[in-house]
Structures are given as structure tokens and as C-alpha cells.
Amino acid sequence: DVKVTQSSRYLVKRTGEKVFLECVQDMDHENMFWYRQDPGLGLRLIYFSYDVKMKEKGDIPEGYSVSREKKERFSLILESASTNQTSMYLCASSVGQVNSPLHFGNGTRLTVT
């Protein structure tokens, strides 16, 4: 079974802090994703990576950056956290094929106060 592990289940940070969300997958998947999920808005893509050191902006990249130094790890960085970044963050991975589904981590509930 594919395992996608997110480092924290719950996180509380203060406005202006730099925040790192870590995600690791154990199935050698090429693709990794960061989404945020908010009530009524569904899943929105923040960033996508299709290979080590490769990244593409998603629908809402503003205020975020990412790092993929190793194939198994994809980090989401909030350079200066703001209250409107309070959300559920979901990491996912997939094989590099169009017909492959996403495998999600359990999510990180981030609260910025």
C-alpha cells in the first residue's frame, strides 16, 4: 500500500512565522501535490512537482513556496504565515501516468493566529 505521510496532524502558528509542512511518500512516485481544502471551496492546488527540483504553480500559489530536493519528499513553505492561510493542507502523490489516481496523506490542520 502507498503511504503518504505528513509530518504534523495539527499545527498552530503565529502571524508572520515561517512554516514548513513536510510530506514523504514511500512508493517512488514521480508526482507530488500540495492542496488546501476549505469548506465550500473544495480542493485547490497550491503547487505540483513532477520530478526532483521541478515544480509548477497551481491555482493559488501566492504566499507559498515548495521544495523537492529528494524524490520522496515534498515540502510546502509559508514564508510569512497569515490568518487567511488557516486551512487543511493535503499532500498527495501519484505515478507519472495520466490514468493514475492520487494517494493522499492524512492532512495537516494549520491554524494561524
Partner 1 sequence: GQNIDQPTEMTATEGAIVQINCTYQTSGFNGLFWYQQHAGEAPTFLSYNVLDGLEEKGRFSSFLSRSKGYSYLLLKELQMKDSASYLCAVKSGGSYIPTFGRGTSLIVHP
Contact track, partner 1, 52-91, x by CB under 8 A: ----x-x-------------------------------x-
Chain residues 87-106 in contact with partner 1, contact rule CB under 8 A:
90, 94, 96-106
Shortest Å distance, C-beta 36 to partner 1: 12
Residue 51: HSE in the Cβ half-sphere, 13 Å Cα cutoff: 1
Shortest Å distance, C-beta 18 to partner 1: 26
* Comparison of 1 and 62: residue with beta carbon closer to partner 1: 1
Nearest residue to 63 (alpha-carbon basis) of 49, 51, 46: 46
Residue ranges in contact with partner 1 by CB under 8 A: 4, 31, 33, 40-43, 45, 48, 50, 56, 58, 90, 94, 96-107
